[in-house]
């Protein structure tokens, strides 16, 4: 493929999964000789220091962001960036724009429409669209699927991070499923394996201590950490254990989780230290990693835990968790919100730990090399690009 100018659009450089996967893609595209622009609404965030100098950071300067009302809302910021993104497209004229996270797709569609350039637009569905719009754990967003059905068709191509997300995207928008390329996220990198070897000085991981149950993710309704706390309380009533949840959240989310831990009588065995730049040493040393999410796209943190050899338990949430675990072959799957089932699954893994080498081998199905060339074929519109079922290499959907 001839070298091209590839622009990737995300809201910010926070440590979320979509942003980290986008950074991985940007670095991989640049390593293959393409000119890569990482276009952001806001450049603050923990990932800014990890950006390679080979990737150009483009900050969208919108005068609308000066207003306190706009600055106070994440989606308002993204919406306010549309004119600035259109201006970038007219001035720089990249060959392709990848809207690299679900929550910026509509902004990218309208910006390309306003710019009236020949830039190819690819939308990436990184989350379960219908469940993001309608979920009992937060306020509904009824217009999200309506707008997606009306405007997503203006894009040139579509990528979904899992088969479940692709099915949902097709059902909500009416886009034919065969027009959606399913490409699992590039999660496992040499950098991950290197970071996993870093030392860890935490008293819970010293010899002779009880097993540590680990959770990692934003303290948000989607991740459903209250169910994890209730499951841990059930587990703790039967045996010694510790629960560590790595991640930060908006407002008083952490305080509410701490209060719930106190109400459940497990506060002394639970720790929420906030966002950790390198969670992999924790994964290497934990007895079990738990994904308690209500919905996902393709939960990269589940793959990361397996890449570190950590036994895993997951809810059978909408998204790609069941695909990653091959229907429960590589770790138990339990119903969403069922703390009793979650506790029983964690206890079963503690009693009968799986082979860690087998988990690492499974995680390698989600390596950078398995994803990047397929991304490039879709982004650059290469004729004869493989259909979506061939895009899932290494058994990501079939085991």
Domain spans in the chain, listed from the N-terminal domain onward: 5-186+367-391, 191-364
Q: Which residue has the tokens 């079939």?
A: 398
Percent of the chain with pLDDT over 90: 68
pLDDT at residue 393 in the model: 35
> Residue 4: which of 168, 119, 137, 145 has the closest Cα?
119
For residue 355, what is the DSSP state? Answer: P
For residue 100, name the pLDDT band (cuts at 50, 70, 90). confident
Q: What is residue 146's predicted lDDT score, i.e. its pLDDT? A: 86
Identify the pLDDT of residue 27. Answer: 94
Task: Give me the pLDDT at residue 186, please.
Answer: 87
Residue 303 has pLDDT above 50, yes or no: yes
Check: CATH 3.40.50.2000 for 191-364?
yes
Confidence of residue 278 (pLDDT cuts 50, 70, 90): very high
More confident residue, 366 or 133: 366
Q: Which residue has the tokens 């072959």?
A: 329
Strand ranges across the sheet with 35-40:
55-59, 35-40, 5-10, 96-99, 120-125, 157-160, 180-182
Using only the alpha carbons of the chain, give its radius of gyration: 21
User: What integer is the mean pLDDT of 320-337?
Assistant: 96
Tell me: pLDDT of 138 over 90: no
Kind and range of the H or E run holding 113: helix 105-115
Which pLDDT value is given to residue 297?
A: 84
Q: Give the pLDDT score at 12.
A: 86
CA atoms within 13 A on the CB side of 206: 4
Q: How far apart are CA 7 and CA 36, in angstroms?
A: 6
3-state SS class at 317: coil
Q: Are 307 and 365 in contact (CB under 8 A)?
A: no
Which residue from 269, 317, 266, 267 is spatially nearest to 290, judged by alpha carbons? 317
127 confidence band (pLDDT: 50, 70, 90): confident
- The token pair that represents 361 in the structure block: 């081998």
320 to 49, 301, 303, 314, 396: CA distances (angstroms): 29, 12, 10, 11, 9
Neighbours of 116 (CB within 10 A): 10
Specify the higher pLDDT residue, 15 or 171.
171
Per-residue pLDDT averaged across 137-151, rounded? 73
Alpha-carbon span 122 to 114, nearest angstrom: 16
Q: For 350-397, how does the pLDDT look when each residue is reduced to its tens digit (9 = 90+)?
A: 999 999 999 999 999 898 888 898 999 999 986 444 444 443 433 333
> Going along 222-373, which residue ranges are E strands?
242-246, 270-274, 288-291, 312-315, 333-334
Does 3.40.50.300 match the CATH number of domain 5-186+367-391? no
- List the one residue out of 116, 190, 121, 185 whose CA is nearest residue 153: 121
The confidence band for 64, taking pLDDT boundaries of 50, 70 and 90, is low
**pLDDT over 90 at 86, yes or no:** yes
Is the whole-model pTM more than 0.85? no
The confidence score (pLDDT) of residue 389 equals: 42
For the chain, give the percent of residues with pLDDT over 70: 88
Q: Which residue has the higher pLDDT, 254 or 80?
A: 254
Handedness of CA 247, 142, 322, 8 (dihedral sign): negative
Q: What is the mean pLDDT of residues 96-109?
A: 91
Q: What is the pLDDT of residues 225-256, one digit of tens each?
A: 999 999 999 999 999 999 999 999 888 999 99
256's tokens: 């509410």
Q: What is the pLDDT of residue 135?
A: 52
Q: Do domains 5-186+367-391 and 191-364 have the same CATH topology?
A: yes
Q: pLDDT tens digits, residue range 13-63?
A: 886 777 888 999 999 999 999 999 999 988 777 788 889 999 999 999 776
Tokens for 110? 């309208």
């Amino acid at each position: 493929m001839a070298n091209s100018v590839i622009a990737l659009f995300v809201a910010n450089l926070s440590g979320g999964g979509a942003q980290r996967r986008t950074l991985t893609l940007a670095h991989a595209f640049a390593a293959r000789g393409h000119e890569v622009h990482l276009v952001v609404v806001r450049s603050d965030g923990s990932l800014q220091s990890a950006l390679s100098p080979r990737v150009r950071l483009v900050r969208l300067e919108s005068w609308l962001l000066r207003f306190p009302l706009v600055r106070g809302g994440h989606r308002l910021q993204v919406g306010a960036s549309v004119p600035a993104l259109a201006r970038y497209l007219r001035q720089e004229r990249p060959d392709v724009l990848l809207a690299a996270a679900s929550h910026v797709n509509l902004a990218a569609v309208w910006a390309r429409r306003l710019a009236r350039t020949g830039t190819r637009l690819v939308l990436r569905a990184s989350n379960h669209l219908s469940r993001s719009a309608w979920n009992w754990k937060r306020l509904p967003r009824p217009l999200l699927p309506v707008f997606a059905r009306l405007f997503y068709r203006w894009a040139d191509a579509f990528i979904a991070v899992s088969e479940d997300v692709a099915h949902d995207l097709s059902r909500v928008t009416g886009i034919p499923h065969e027009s959606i390329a399913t490409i699992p996220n590039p999660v496992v990198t040499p950098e991950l394996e290197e970071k996993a070897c870093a030392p860890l000085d935490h008293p819970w991981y010293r010899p002779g201590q009880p097993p540590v149950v680990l959770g990692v993710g934003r303290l948000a309704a989607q991740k459903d950490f209250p169910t994890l706390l209730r499951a841990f309380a059930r587990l703790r009533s039967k045996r010694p254990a510790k629960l560590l949840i790595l991640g930060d959240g908006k407002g008083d989310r952490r305080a509410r989780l701490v209060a719930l831990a106190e109400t459940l009588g497990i506060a002394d065995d639970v720790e929420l230290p906030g966002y950790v730049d390198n969670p992999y040493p924790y994964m290497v040393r934990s007895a079990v990693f738990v994904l308690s999410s209500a919905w996902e796209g393709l939960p990269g943190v589940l793959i990361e835990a397996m890449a570190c050899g950590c036994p895993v338990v997951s809810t059978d949430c909408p998204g790609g968790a069941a695909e990653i675990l091959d229907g429960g072959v590589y770790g138990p799957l339990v119903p969403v919100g069922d703390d009793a089932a979650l506790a029983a699954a964690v206890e079963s893994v503690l009693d009968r730990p799986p082979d860690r080498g087998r988990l690492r081998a499974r995680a390698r199905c989600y390596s950078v090399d398995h994803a990047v060339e397929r991304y490039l074929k879709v982004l650059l519109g290469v004729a004869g690009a493989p259909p979506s079922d061939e895009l899932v290499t290494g058994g990501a959907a079939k085991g």
